[in-house]
């Protein structure tokens, strides 16, 4: 049995849909259940439902054999994982956003940036030659420039609705992100048959890892 870590929320729903299509699940986990571990009756896969930021850690630390996680999370964390496939789900973009009229050339000597992606954000501003102060937040990022905590934010954007609702607008796209299927290295050897079957169902071979 493979143990698969999935991020809670919309990406988990899209991931489960893929698993159903490829015959790895016989049905959907009960959406009203509070259980964080789901073992499919087929006995082929066990699902761990965790925070999106934690999926890669569960896989890297061998608590899960594989996981589905956003490219933004992988780049931010620099995890030691096998990255075989872009699943083309969970599409979004990581962008700089600020109050209407604000731009990267607004003239601040040091730009205060609120984000939960400090590494990506710092690298982006340094490459632009802009001095920045990173303010690490874990949620409600859009609030920061509204109350003067930051000049701008770096955060994921899907439709842009949350930005518009808070009188913010995208300034520049840093990167596009989609969900990736990742494996820990030991699973390739300890569960070779299961991993091979899983990869084959996604039209991959071990040589592509």
Q: Give the domains, in start order, of the chain with CATH numbers.
A: 2-90+178-204 (3.40.190.10), 92-176 (3.40.190.10)
Residue 16 near residue 77, CB atoms below 8 Å: no
Which residue in 64, 45, 53 sits closest to 8, CA to CA? 53
**End-to-end CA separation in angstroms for the chain:** 20
Tokens describing residue 115: 């984000």
| Per-residue model confidence as pLDDT tens for the chain (209 residues) | 889 999 888 888 888 888 888 888 888 877 777 778 888 887 788 999 999 889 999 999 999 999 999 999 999 999 999 877 888 888 999 999 999 999 888 666 789 999 999 999 999 999 999 999 999 998 889 999 999 999 999 999 988 888 999 999 999 999 999 999 999 988 888 888 888 888 888 764 344 44
């Amino acid at each position: 049995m493979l143990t698969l870590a999935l991020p809670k929320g919309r990406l988990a729903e899209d991931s489960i849909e893929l698993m159903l299509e490829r015959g790895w699940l016989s049905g959907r986990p009960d959406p009203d259940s509070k259980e964080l571990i789901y073992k499919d009756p087929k006995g082929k896969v066990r699902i761990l439902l965790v925070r999106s930021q934690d999926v890669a850690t569960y896989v890297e630390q061998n608590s899960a054999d594989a996981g589905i996680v956003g490219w933004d999370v992988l780049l931010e964390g620099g995890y030691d994982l096998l990255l075989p496939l872009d699943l083309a789900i969970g599409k979004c973009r990581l962008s700089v956003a600020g109050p209407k009229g604000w731009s990267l050339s607004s003239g601040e000597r040091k730009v205060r940036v609120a984000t939960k992606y400090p590494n990506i954000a710092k690298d982006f501003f340094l490459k632009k030659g802009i001095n920045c102060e990173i303010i690490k937040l874990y949620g409600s990022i859009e609030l920061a420039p509204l109350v003067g905590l930051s000049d701008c934010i770096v955060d994921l954007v899907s439709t842009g609705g949350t930005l518009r609702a808070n009188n913010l607008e995208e300034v520049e796209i840093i990167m596009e992100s989609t969900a990736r299927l990742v494996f820990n290295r030991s699973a390739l050897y300890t569960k070779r048959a299961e991993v091979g079957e899983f990869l084959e169902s996604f039209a991959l071979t071990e040589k592509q890892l």
